[in-house]
Amino acid sequence: MVRKRLVATAAVLAGALVLSACGGGGGSSTGGSGGGGGGQTLKIGFMGDLTGENSGIVIPPKNGATLAIDEYNATNPANKIELVPYDSQGSADQAVPLITQGINDGIVGLIGPAFSGESKAVGPVLEQGEIPSVSPSATNPGLANNGWKYWHRIVANDVDQGPGIVDFLIRATTAKKAYVISDDQEYSVGLADSSFKAFQDKGVAVERDQFAQAASDYSSTVAKVSAAAPDVIVYGGYYAQAGRLLKQLRDAGIKAPFASGDGSLDPGIIQGAGAPAAEGAILGCPCNIPFGAQTGALKDFTDKYKAKFNVDPAIYSTEGYDAATLFINAIKGGATDKAAINTAISSAKLTGVSKEISFKPNGEPNSNSIFIYQVKNGALTLLGPSGEAKLG
């Protein structure tokens, strides 16, 4: 997922700070040369929007990571782990100085960044600092094309997500006309791009519009959608904007099925649109939320998560847990410095709670599953994998 582009001044600041930070090995949190160094407390950072308007997407994976690390530390291992939060509020401009702070803090790895815009901004800093990272939620396709050696994600990208949502919509609604909407955030535009192309590739007539992320009145876009009279509407973006957009569409009498991606998969879309307007909204995600899990690892995870945080798992909870587990397994295997941890993660094969996890050489996951959810009776409900799901 994505937020604002990095401004030039932040990039200059990052470069200057990283040059000073890269020379050191991270203080007491970096071990020897791959093994040994017992008795340390190794710092793993977590970066994302923890207090901003889209924090509902990021707190669940942080909770998942916290659960995994607390479980590990409870075993009294030789090398413990401290999870250090860095609240970027989803802003690339804030993320750059924060990751520089993280390097100075001595982190040996990073879970995140959560959104793609901040991932794009801090990627070069992480690469220069040789800090291995695993994002539980960043989906912009271009992140894999930078030649980064320390970057990984455990979710499918928007090249898979957009077509997965579109294929489901066509199969479930037999749509002949579609309308794709985005705001001007990088994640939003990227998901809209892939959805628009997928409709075209399937021979569906499709139109498109875009509004500013900071806008709150979408009447111009709503009027265009009304005139187009589409069979389905796809919005690429976050729930804070999606809820407002969906409410204004329904207030204008537009009844076409509304779909969005992982950025909107949060109860905030229901709160923003109002329960009547949100009912029936379709949401795709490369995430496996254990709604109603009755058996197996998902049930065990749900029970532990709810006992610790007094809430049910939500978007990217399982992925946050699995991202932390990759670091835990590397450290348990004797890797205590950044390079050794990165090597261990890059070659890992993990039967995670969310999915089977392993990585391509460019840091992309080998799994590209997309799941479909729907707002039913005022709550988010899992319908199943995109190729099998059916509308309720």
* CATH code (residue 83): 3.40.50.2300
85 and 200 assigned to the same domain:
no
Q: Are residues 198 and 149 in the same domain?
A: no
Nearby residues of 336 by Cβ (< 8 Å), 6 or more positions away: 30, 31, 32, 34, 35, 36, 37, 40, 42, 79, 108
- Residues 250 and 345 placed together within one structural domain of the fold: no
Name the residue with tokens 């203080």.
Answer: 27
Q: Is the pTM of this model over 0.85?
A: no
Q: Determine the pLDDT at residue 30.
A: 42
The total number of structural domains that make up the chain = 2
The residue assigned the tokens 């959608």 is 225
291 inside domain: no
Cα–Cα distance between 301 and 305 in angstroms, integer?
Answer: 6
Cβ atoms of 61 and 316 closer than 8 Å: yes
337 with 377, same domain: the answer is: no
Question: Is residue 169 in a domain?
Answer: yes
**How confident is the model at residue 264, as a pLDDT?**
95
Question: For residue 4, what pLDDT is reported?
Answer: 35
Q: How many CA atoms lie within 13 A of 360 on its CB side?
A: 13
Range list of H helices, 202-316: 219-228, 239-251, 268-273, 275-278, 296-309
**Same-domain status, 238 and 376:** yes
Q: What's the pLDDT at 38?
A: 52
User: CA-CA distance, 231 to 40, in Å (whole number)?
Assistant: 58
**Are 208 and 257 contained in the same domain?**
yes
Residue 10 pLDDT: 37
Range of the domain at 314: 8-156+297-357
Residue 124 sits in the same domain as residue 19: yes
What is the reported pLDDT for 12? Answer: 34
Helix (H) or strand (E) holding 354: none
pLDDT of residue 6: 35
On whether both 63 and 123 belong to a single domain, the answer is: yes
- Residues of the chain short of pLDDT 50, as ranges, are 2-37
